[in-house]
Amino acid sequence: MCIAVPGRIVSIGETSVAMVPGEVVFPDRDLTVNLVMVPDARVGDHVVVHSGYAIRIVSSETAEVATALLCPDTLDSAAEPTSQ
């Protein structure tokens, strides 16, 4: 089984027949992925990526919940209670 953290598309490059390059920001890195399998994807959308291909567009709410569950260390520290 694969677990994928959604990323947010920040730019889409020049399209060719088999490649739609998109810069996608994840909690721990930025990657160039192929958006050819999600032709409706737009800048600002969240996508699930497998093997360098975006395979599904997900809602912002789904992306937020998945990131909180799978990458809790990446949450904004200002939102976490501090112990004194």
Q: Is residue 1 part of a domain?
A: no
Q: Is residue 43 part of a domain?
A: yes
CATH number at residue 67: 2.30.30.140
65/74: higher pLDDT: 65
How high is the pLDDT of residue 66?
87
List residues bridging with 33 in a β-sheet.
22
Q: Is residue 44 part of a domain?
A: yes
Q: Is residue 2 part of a domain?
A: no
Task: List the domain range (segments joined by +) for residue 48.
Answer: 7-74
Q: Is residue 28 part of a domain?
A: yes
**pTM for the full predicted model:** 0.80
Q: Evaluate if residue 81 carries a pLDDT over 50.
A: no
Residues 6+ apart with CB under 8 A from 59: 46
Domain count across the chain? 1
Residue ranges in the chain assigned as alpha helix (H): 60-70
State whether residue 73 is helix, strand or coil: helix
Q: Is residue 83 part of a domain?
A: no
Confidence of residue 1 (pLDDT cuts 50, 70, 90): low
Kindly report, residue by residue over 21-70, the tens digit of the pLDDT: 999 999 889 999 999 999 999 999 999 999 999 999 999 999 989 888 88
In angstroms, the CA 34 to CA 14 distance is: 11
